[in-house]
Every structure is written in structure tokens, then in C-alpha cells.
């Protein structure tokens, strides 16, 4: 399948977006992301295909958009799809834990590590808000885009106080 791509500037660095020829978003990667995509030979640079995504991302980073309305598709096992669907239902400014995601999809408590693996494999950072998943003790556990970016996103959404704010 032909892959189209573009980059979009953001407070997290230059985002790499990929899509099907019809414009369905298939990935959003941040610089240095664990498991993130990089432009491959044969991909088609097509910034016009990503105008709507660019506008929605800009509005999100400006604090003017709380959810994304973009066509998106991700390849993954049925288990990963269930986890990703659960993540997509998390509202802006809310967090949940890996265990709560496991319970939400009907997986046993022992599946928490598998849930973590599915979250870590999320190909649509920011748009599919895996940054809203935290540890059971409230800690900001791993994020494929880096913990500094997770902090930035959760601060933007009002979950964390701005740096330097009195606590």
C-alpha cells in the first residue's frame, strides 16, 4: 500500500504523520519516539493530505480542541485494538491506570503488562491519548514519546499544574 507522509510542527517537536492514499491517518510519531516511524524510501510526501490533521493538532496544542475528529486506522491484534479503543474513550483532562484499562476491556488483572505493551505500541500518539494512562500509584510511568512529553501533554490538559505553579 502506498504511504503518504508529512511533518507538522508542534510544542513536542516535529511530528511525522502517515496516511493511506485516501487520507486516513495511520501513524503520528514524535522525534526519538520508541518504536516511532521514520520516512522510508518510496513514501509520498503530501502535505495537503494532512491539512485537517495539522489544523486540529494546532487547535489542540493551543488549548482550543479537546478531541480529534480525524479518520484513523491502526493495524494491531484484536487485543491491541480493544486496548486502543478503550484509550480513545478517555476524555480530555482525565487519566486512568493500566489496571483500569484491563478491567474496561474485560481482561484479567494479570493482563496489565499486556495492556502496557499495547499502549506502548500505539502508533497514533497524541491523537489516541495514551499519555492519559498512569501507574496505579499515580506515577507517570512510561511513554513512548518520552516522559517529558507526557508531562507537557498532561499539563496542557490541566491534569498537572504548570511548571513553577505553587502546589
> Active-site residues: which are they?
130
The per-residue pLDDT for range 76-133, each reduced to its tens digit, is: 999 999 999 999 999 999 999 999 999 999 999 889 999 999 999 999 999 999 999 9
Give residue 39's pLDDT: 95
Q: Write phi, then psi, for 84 (nearest 5 degrees).
A: -65, -40
Give residue 45's pLDDT: 98
- Helix, strand or coil for residue 17? strand
On the question of pLDDT at 166 being above 80, the answer is: no
Report the percent of the chain where pLDDT is more than 70: 98
- Return mean pLDDT, the chain: 94
pLDDT (average), residues 26-34: 93
On the question of pLDDT at 142 being above 70, the answer is: yes
Give residue 125's pLDDT: 96
pTM for the whole thing?
A: 0.92
**Distance between CA 83 and CA 109 in Å, rounded?**
14
pLDDT (average), residues 39-63: 97
- Which has the closest alpha carbon to 139: 150, 149, 129, 128? 150
* CA 21 and chain centroid, separation: 21
pLDDT band, residue 38 (cuts 50/70/90): very high
Amino acid at each position: 500500500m502506498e504511504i503518504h507522509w508529512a511533518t507538522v510542527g508542534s510544542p513536542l517537536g516535529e511530528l511525522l504523520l502517515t496516511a493511506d492514499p485516501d487520507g486516513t491517518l495511520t501513524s503520528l510519531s514524535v522525534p526519538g519516539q520508541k518504536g516511532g516511524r521514520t520516512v522510508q524510501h518510496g513514501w509520498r510526501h503530501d502535505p495537503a493530505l494532512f491539512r485537517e490533521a495539522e489544523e486540529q493538532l494546532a487547535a489542540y496544542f493551543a488549548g482550543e480542541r479537546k478531541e480529534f475528529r480525524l479518520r484513523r486506522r491502526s493495524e494491531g491484534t484484536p487485543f491491541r485494538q480493544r486496548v486502543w479503543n478503550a484509550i480513545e474513550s478517555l476524555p480530555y483532562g482525565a487519566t486512568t491506570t493500566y489496571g483500569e484499562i484491563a478491567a474496561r476491556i474485560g481482561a484479567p488483572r494479570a493482563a496489565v503488562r499486556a495492556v502496557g505493551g499495547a499502549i506502548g505500541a500505539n502508533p497514533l500518539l497524541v491523537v489516541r491519548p495514551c499519555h492519559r494512562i498512569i501507574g496505579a500509584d499515580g506515577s507517570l510511568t512510561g511513554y513512548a514519546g518520552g516522559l517529558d512529553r507526557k508531562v507537557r501533554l498532561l499539563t496542557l490538559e490541566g491534569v498537572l499544574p504548570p511548571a513553577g505553579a505553587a502546589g
